[in-house]
Structure 1
Amino acid sequence: MTATPNTNSDEEQMFLATLQECLQADNDKRTAAEQIYQDIADEKKAILLLSTLRNTTLSGPIRSFAAVMLRRLFQTQFENFWPKYSPDQQMAVKKELIARITQVDDDETIRKKVCYITAELAKNLMDENDQSQWPEVMEFLFQSANSSHSALKESALIIFEAFPGIFGNQAEQLTQIIHQIFLNCLNDQDTKVRYTAAQALAAYLKHNCENTQLLHIHRDCLPFLISTVTHSLANSDDDAVLKALIDIAENAAKYLRPGIDEVFNLCLETMQQKDEFEESRRHLALEVLVTLSETASGMVRKVSKKYMNRLVPQLLEMMVDLEDDSEWSIKDTIEDEGDDSNAVVGESSLDRLSCALGGKTMLNYILTTIQTMLQNPDWRYRHAGLMAISATGEGCHKEMSVLLDDLVNGTLVFLKDSHPRVRYAACNALGQMSTDFQGTFQKKFHSKVIPGLLSILDDHENPRTQAHGGAALVNFAEDCPSRILVDYLPQIIEKLEQVLNRKYQELVQHNRKLVLEQIVTTLAAIADTVGQDFSPYYDRFMPQLKYLFKNAITPDYRMLRGKTMECISLIGLAVGKEKFIHDCYEIMQELVKSQVDFENLGNDDPQVSYLIGAWTRICKILGKDFEQYLPIVMGSVLKAAAFKPEVTVLADGDNEVEEDDNWEVLNVGDQAFGIKTTGLEEKASACSMLVCYAKELKEGFVNYVEETTKLMVPLLRFYFHEGVRAAAAESLPHLLDCAKLRGDDYVRQMWQYMNKELFKAIEIEPDHEVLGELFSSLGKCIETLGVSSLTVDELKELTTILDSHLKKHFERSNERVEKRRDEDYDEETEEEMVEEDDFDSYILNRLSDIIHSLLVTYTDSYLVYFDTLVPHFYALIQPTRSISDRQWALCVFDDVIQFTGAHSHRYTQFFLSPMAESLADTAAEIRQAAAYGFGVMGMNGGPVYARACAEALPRLFTMIGAPNSRAPENNTATENAVSAVTKILKYNNSCLDNIDKLHQVWLSWLPIFEDTEETPYVYGYLCDLIESYVEYIV
């Protein structure tokens, strides 16, 4: 390869020695070698790695390591070094890679890794028009795929799997050729070729999952794909083929429609054959079915009657697979049972299937099976039956709601079961139902559930069960109306105090802390719910909590100390500053001491998040008085918020990261990244804490504004955690508020730094809820800054962004229309689409908030930009649109009228008629928005709206006088209509006749009291009439 950059044998030998040292077990030697490796220029490094790969006399591990590092270099540094090569040198590298692959007698592992390198280079050599700059590799693929040599066929398929977009903009015209390759290879005599073809087909279908025509063309490959999966299972070969089927189920589920019966039968049979297949393989077969149910629920529901009667009992049987550990209930440390145990996989799958397929499909099969399980003398069956109730509530919510009385009464019985693990499962079921059926559950069953759970707190012989009773009480309390819980406070407090005192003694005498940790958490939850009503009990707990906080300082007590911090601060927040202030100084001194130690706490130390949360709550309690502590806490908070997680680019086969609970995989385009999650939650908490400080302390936070702004703005695009991005967005208007103390110029510079990043984030944010926070943040920033907030160009850009999001709103709406025409559409699909519509409604709400802010700030000068958006809102206001679409369109036009006055009259052709007709709509929220519109026409529209106001009065009168107009669900809309008439009478009555008669009718509608924003206008007008001595009023 003479055209490549020069290297000599000495360099190659030194480099080889460096690679060998990089594989050393000795940490110091390895670290030193890694530094030497990093210091080599990338363009030289690539050639040296390629040279190492070429040398077949070297050991497999060294060549394999060189291959991994070369691929990583192409993944991460390609733009830095590739352009430095001349065209001849680039061609030499390409030829060398293909030459390595064609050496079919070389080490198979090395050859496969070179295939991955080749795919990576091909990916990098695809231009912006999807035109490959390496046509030779496509020729090589076709030649190899049609070769008589199995190793070459396999190599071509590996490259295709690693980069299914390798044919770029020529893919469509090559579809039939690609199709034929798959057909041939799936029928090849060589098992490895068939297996690799199955994996390549899965990658290709995933890459083209939106192209229904292409999926249809490849449908005739499906029988051979299923046959290949069946063969791999029968021969206990690599799981990769079964995993390929999961990929298809996840990304191109509808492709499997013609073979859905074969897929279900194959997977169910695999699950049943315990002796034939190891657990992990049976779990993969189950994952195919669960994933398919999640991604094509309508399709699966159509065949569910044939298979759920086999699948559900198998899942419940898996949940019975528990070890009968006699010491389980007395263990003080809870060990993770592992995500791969039969019981955990079975329960998780039941939960996912229930959520995917819904109660109509699942619940009958589940209840039929668990009824007999709950009567089984073997405790494991009773345990599994109760855990199934826990797992089913979310997905079968609607159907379980009507059965709740029987389910709750049936579960309560097992709080007295003879086996502690069954009692534990009963607590789990009650706690989960408290969450899944929140509100209703607490109101209906408090008289049974609270005493039942309190009885479990007496189970001192089985501390693990006892602790779980406390945890279930937390679930119940978190969503319980305060007035209900207050009635039980004496009993709850007495029980918690007894257990706390006893468990404190056990801590001192036997170092047992599991139940004590839970009781502290339960106490915090109770205080948080009842608020000020906890005050009479404050002195009974605070001394002991302070003692625990001060003395639980050894590593074994980190969790206990953290939970005690949380409990103290939540109690303080509940009872308020006046009560808490007597202990506050002492607690603050201890928190300050903890803060000093914070620097030495690891990211996995549980105290970190608890400490951050405690400081935030103390800030809310003390308000301005918290400023004195900022110098102490800000260093560590900023450090936690600035934490950078470990991120790695994943290559195919990087299973270690995917299987590690401390890592998550994020897919961006065709590239997968591994993110180490340790420290991420603490980062999100710290960001929320900064929001709290800026919001609560305002100008008192000014000394930290600049550093916080420089930290938070880049986090608007921190795609590893939604909470971090949401907190970053929320912080911006508060930071601008804090900075006002430094003058307009400083604030303007801050905003210039913020707004470009905020605009970019809004354009590309993938998460609905975070997008809503970004919209909200921008709106608040505009209102905070006023007319100087945006330049003309920025107003144009923002309007373009809003226009784009409105177009996306219609696209998503049209997609739902298409789903309703799908052959798998059913009632449950409609429920799923209602949820999607709720998401869109949320975004439309937040988008309308921005327009509100723009109109509040710029008034009629914004209308030149608003013209672009008018067609969208005209479309949204039409009677065929959803309630939320019409509501927010009306609200936007309301704002246009209110804040631009007579200038809004130019749009009456778009909104006046729909607004008038909306006064008679069946939906109260539509009537309310329309009534408000006529009210602002009266108050802000001026003479140009006088005729429209007069013509609206009969409709408003009809709305107010309707038979059920004062029903709870209608009253706010009705009161809005009363206010609208009031504003017309007061401000825009030039076209009205018989005002005296109108006044008398108007008076008969009083009093109004619910819509507190409108009552001042109504009663203000009443006072005007009284002061004017209007005869029929006085």
Structure 2
Amino acid sequence: MDPNYIPTLTQLLEATIAPDTALIKAATTQLNTQFYKDPTCIPALYEISCTNENPSIRQLAAVELRKRISSRDGKMWKKNPEQLRQQIKDSLLQRLTNETSPIVRHSQAQAVAAIADLELATQPSQWPTLMPGLYQAARSSDKTHRETAIYVLFSILDTVAENFQDHLASLFETFSVSLVDPESAEVRVTTLRALAKVAEYIEVEDKHDIKAFQDLIVPMLKVLEKAIQDGDDEGVKHGYDAFETFLILEAPLVSKHVGDLVQFFLGVAGNKDVEDEMRCGALNVLSWVIRYKKSKVQALGLAKPIIEALLPVGTEDDPEDADEDSPSRLAFRTLDTLAQVLPPQQVFPVLTQQLQVYMAGDASMRKSALMAFGVSVEGCSEYIRPHVDQLWPVIESGLQDPEVIVRKAACIALGCLCEWLAEECATRHSVIVPILFNLIVEPATQKNACTCLDSYLEILGDDIVNYLTLLMERLLVLLENGIIAVKITVTGAIGSAAHAAKEKFVPYFDQTIQRLVPFLELQESDEQIDLRGVATDTIGTIADAVGADVFRPYFQPLMKAAFEALTMDNSRLRESSFIFFGIMAQVFTNDFAQYLPQCVPALIASCQQSETAEELDEDGSNPAQLVDAFNAAASGSKGESTWEDEDDETDINELDDMFSKVNSAVAIEKEVAADTIGELFAATKAAFMPYVEETVQVLIDLLDHYYEGIRKAAVGALFQFVKTMYELSDAPEWTPGAKVAVPLHDHVKSIAQLVLPKIFETWKTEDDQ
């Protein structure tokens, strides 16, 4: 090795962490082009990771060492002489135990795992001393040696792709000791993490290994309990992750301890001395227990103790931010899961008994009872239906309770009932609507009451005419004078009123639309953006209710506003614009065709955008492709892509981090875009034909998307394409018979032959068929 090689490499590594962007870029380029393609970088990085005085440089060198070892299935590692590779293996573990910085030690351990992934896979093993050496070090009297050995074992289990079943007996023996390490929490927690990896190697038929694993469940719970007592946030998170892994695996690793798990996590959730974040995590794991071990939960009759333990948690206060998790919110979410996966006769009778007790208690108990009633409706609706008359007084008394928190909870519960017991709720309009009218003018209950009213109006149907005048008077006052949060819910309620009233909404059209249109110019804050999106949705609903003739004066200016929203780099607004396009196409049919050259490219760009954060703006959007597509269509030219393929390797160890950056808002936007493509073809028919070939392929590409909402939208849109193409063929009415009396048009046959096999292929692999 050139004597200047290591000093030069060290200088470049130092430059990559300097506070100088230009220096970082230049150093990175030189590293990638001159060093990281040279096998000599591996022994050089190894030496730097062990000897450099700066722990940051040692850690960086260790990280890069792992990457270079794993690169291209170990080709670079194998290009080094066997004697040199052996020297690294012989000294690496010893140098690991000498490392004083835990973070450097962990990075070096991952480099060991990268070598193990290559060397243990061969027959015979090229590193036969590794595992015995680690087992021995794991029993050392030196705490640092134990911590190092257990972390290396964890890293190997996390990295090695080959079957590890031959090592399970030794691993169980080692981990049964390290789980109860009397001195090091790091050893105990890392062992728990390692066992989560071991679990993935255990097959359903491996009865001996399953038994050995089950024997460690209680000690693992004790590790987690101690981490909670010590306030070890990271250790607790790792523990929760481990138990969630055990629950989703096919092998029955925790089945004999489901009762223990339920008791443990309920205990943590109900303990107010534990940090709220840990309590929320415990409730999340409990939900997984209920969902993935529902048969055991049912067989053990655990619904009753779960409900009785969750309701007291539900009495606790919630944070102001509706998106912030809290123990009480997670308790109701867990109860929702329980009601959905267990038979209702195991859930609702117990809940009914508790409702009687809690509705007679203080305000926090009454709030908990109503929330519990509301979240249980989805899973128990058919069981509840015959008993609605007996239960209805709970809702009515809650809506008129003297305490605000109870009235708000009753509004939420009624909203749930509207969704799952719509007919039963709608028949009580003469009582409910006046109560809600009173609640929407109370500042303390306005927001919840308007949201509830929104849900109620959707199911009211023709009966809305009895209340429409007074309703619109009150809603329009709130629309002018309310705070933005109230305006958002009021705007949604107006949309529901229009949907229910249909053509009877025409007398209120002018005064309503004049108040809503200014909202389409808002863009200063997140709340204003939300209001703009809801206003766009509501205006679309109003257009559908009043029809093309009444809405026509606003058609072109509001289409322009919807197109402007596409350029605002916000997924929520693009989603609303796409929905608006779909409704306008249905209302105006052929008159909408003039907008297809602008709409379709934007929809395609949305479907093809990435959901990962590296390609998204700070707000989670990926506007470049959308704006380019929209502007190119508007100008009649083809936009140039600004995205370039990079010849970088995918680091398997960073995939979890990549998936954590997936943006759900973009995924939902893509779902809406796929739906809208189908709606545009159905509405504009022949005018859409120039776009069929490209959009069909875009939709087919979405059939294997990870997000089920996108897959569902793509399937629905493709079926709509086949249906619309058949309608365009103007075929005679089909007649049954063995012989084909009415042959399909060539266009119909072509699209069916292209689309249907793809859909059937997707159906075969779909979890929820």
The one of 555, 563, 569 equivalent to 1:602 is 569
Task: For 2:328 and 2:430, locate their aligned partners in 1 and report how far apart those are by CA, in whole Å.
Answer: 29
Structure 2 partner of 1:665: none
- 8 Å contact kept, 1:477–1:525: yes
Shift of 1:729: 4.2
1:298 is aligned to 295
State the alpha-carbon separation in 2 of the partners of residues 220 and 134 from structure 1.
32
Query: Greater CA radius of gyration, 1 or 2?
Result: 1
| Alpha carbons of structure 1 residues 62 and 398: separation in structure 2 relative to 1, 3 Å | farther
Equivalent residue, structure 2, for 1:465: 445
- Match for 1:116 among 92, 110, 120? 110
Q: Which residue of 2 aligns with 1:488?
A: 464
Question: Residue 958 of structure 1 corresponds to which residue in structure 2?
Answer: none
Secondary structure (helix, strand or coil) at the match of 1:417 reads coil
User: Is the contact between residue 701 and residue 738 of structure 1 (CA under 8 Å) also seen in structure 2?
Assistant: no
Q: Match for residue 376 of structure 1?
A: 361
Which runs of 5 or more residues in structure 1 are unaligned? 326-333, 650-656, 663-667, 741-779, 810-835, 844-1034
- Alignment partner, residue 350 of structure 1: 335
Q: What is the aligned partner in structure 1 of residue 642 from structure 2?
A: none
Q: Does 2:495 align with 1:502?
A: no
CA distance in 2, matches of 1:346, 1:49: 54
Count of residue pairs brought into register by the alignment: 703
Q: Equivalent of 1:535, from 490, 503, 528? A: 503
1:387/1:269 CA distance change after superposition, 3 Å: closer
Say which SS state the counterpart of residue 555 (structure 1) adopts: coil
Residue correspondence of structure 1 range 357-756 to structure 2 within 5 A: 357-377=342-362, 379-435=363-419, 437=420, 441-449=421-429, 451-459=431-439, 461-463=441-443, 465-478=445-458, 480=459, 485-491=461-467, 493-506=468-481, 512-529=483-500, 534-550=502-518, 552-556=520-524, 557-576=528-547, 580-596=548-564, 598-599=566-567, 601-604=568-571, 606-646=572-612, 672=656, 673-674=659-660, 675-709=662-696, 711-719=698-706, 721-731=707-717
1: CA distance, partners of 2:433 / 2:408: 11
**Could you tell me which amino acid in structure 1 is paired with residue 169 of structure 2?**
Q
Equivalents in 2 of 1:574, 1:407: separation in Å? Answer: 35
Structure 1 residues 405 and 609: CA distance shift in structure 2, 3 A = same
- The structural deviation recorded for 1:212 is 4.6
CA deviation map 1:684-734 (0-9, x unaligned) = 212222222233334422443454355444333332x22333444455577
User: Is this contact kept in 2: 1:350–1:391, CA < 8 A?
Assistant: yes
Give SS of 1:146's match: helix
Whole-angstrom CA distance in 2 between matches of 1:6 and 1:404 = 85
- On the 8 A contact 1:408/1:430 being kept in 2, the answer is no
* Distance apart, 1:535 and its partner CA: 1.3
- Alignment of 1:50 with 2:45, yes or no, is yes
Q: For 2:513, give the aligned amino acid.
A: L
Shift of 1:784: 2.5
Matched, 1:319 2:314: yes
Equivalents in 2 of 1:445, 1:729: separation in Å?
33
Residues 1:684 and 1:308: Cα distance change in structure 2 (over 3 Å): same
Q: Superposed, which structure 2 residues align to 1:132-281 within 5 Å?
A: 132=122, 135-137=125-127, 139-147=129-137, 148-149=139-140, 150-162=143-155, 164=157, 171-191=164-184, 192-208=186-202, 210-213=204-207, 214-237=209-232, 238-239=235-236, 240-251=238-249, 254-275=252-273, 277-281=274-278
- For residues 336 and 417 of structure 1, the distance between their equivalents in structure 2, rounded to whole angstroms, comes to 22
* d(CA) in 2 for partners of 1:442, 1:133: 66
Secondary structure, in 3 states, of the residue corresponding to 2:586?
A: helix
Q: Is the 8 A contact 1:528 1:571 kept in 2?
A: yes
Contact 1:49 1:67 in 2 (8 A): no
Question: What is the alpha-carbon distance in structure 2 between the residues aligned to residue 384 and residue 190 of structure 1?
Answer: 43
Q: Which moved more, 1:106-115 or 1:281-290?
A: 281-290
Describe the shift of the 1:321–1:727 C-alpha distance in structure 2 as closer, same or farther (beyond 3 A).
closer
Q: Distance in 2 between matches of 1:669 and 1:367?
A: 49
d(CA) in 2 for partners of 1:125, 1:615: 58
The letter for the 2-side match of 1:686 is A
Instruction: Output the CA distance in 2 between the equivalents of 1:64 and 1:495.
Output: 69
Deviations 1:451-474 (A, max 9, x none): 414432333553462332232233
Find 1:336's aligned residue among 305, 309, 322.
322
> What per-residue deviation string (whole Å, max 9, x for no partner) do you get for residues 368-397 of structure 1?
3332322224x2222121111112222334
Q: Separation in 1 of the partners of 2:434 and 2:577?
A: 29
Q: Tell me how far 1:522 sits from its aligned partner.
A: 1.9
Distance 1:33 1:215, change over 3 A: same
Q: Which segment is superposed worse, 388-397 or 81-90?
A: 81-90
- Structure 2's unaligned 5+ residue stretches are 622-651, 727-743
Task: Return the letter of the residue paired with 2:711.
Answer: R
Which amino acid counterpart does residue 689 of structure 1 have in structure 2? T
Deviation at 1:595, TM superposition (A): 1.0
TM-score, normalization: structure 2? Answer: 0.79
How far apart, CA to CA, are the structure 2 residues paired with 1:354 and 1:661? 34
| Higher-RCO chain (CA-CA 8 Å, sequence separation at least 6) | 2
| Deviations, residues 605-631 of structure 1 (Å, cap 9, x unaligned) | x32211111011111122222111122
Distance change (3 Å), C-alpha of 1:211 and 1:712 = same
Tell me, in whole angstroms, the C-alpha distance in 2 between the residues paired with 1:522 and 1:473: 6
**Offset, 1:171:** 3.8
**1:145/1:154 contact within 8 Å kept:** no
Q: Residue type of the partner of 1:708? A: T
Q: Give the Å deviation of 1:53.
A: 5.2
Change (3 A) 1:39 1:88: closer
Query: Does 1:12 find its partner at 2:9?
Result: yes
Tell me if structure 2 keeps the 8 A contact 1:736–1:781: no
* 3-state secondary structure, aligned to 1:321: coil
For 1:679 and 1:232, how far apart are their aligned partners in 2? 37
The offset of 1:499, in angstroms, is 1.8
Does 612-621 or 365-374 show the bigger shift?
365-374
How far the C-alpha of 1:294 sits from its partner, in A, is 1.8
CA distances 1:227-264 after superposition (whole Å, capped 9, x unpaired): 44444445544313454334323436832344445444
1:753-793 Cα shifts (integer Å, max 9, x gaps): xxxxxxxxxxxxxxxxxxxxxxxxxxx99992369959xxx
In structure 2, the residue corresponding to 1:501 is in which secondary structure?
A: helix
Would the aligned equivalents of 2:202 and 2:251 in 1 still touch at CA under 8 Å? Answer: no
Cα distance in 2 between the residues matched to 1:694 and 1:37: 52
**8 Å contact 1:249–1:292 — kept in the other structure?**
yes
- Are residues 374 and 11 of structure 1, via their aligned partners in 2, closer, same or farther at CA, if it must alter by over 3 Å? same
- Identical-pair percentage: 17
Report SS of the residue matched to 1:254. coil
Distance in 2 (alpha carbons) for counterparts of 1:528 and 1:371: 37
Find the aligned partners of 1:538 and 1:18 in 2 and give their Cα distance.
68
Following superposition, the deviation at residue 156 of structure 1 comes to 4.4
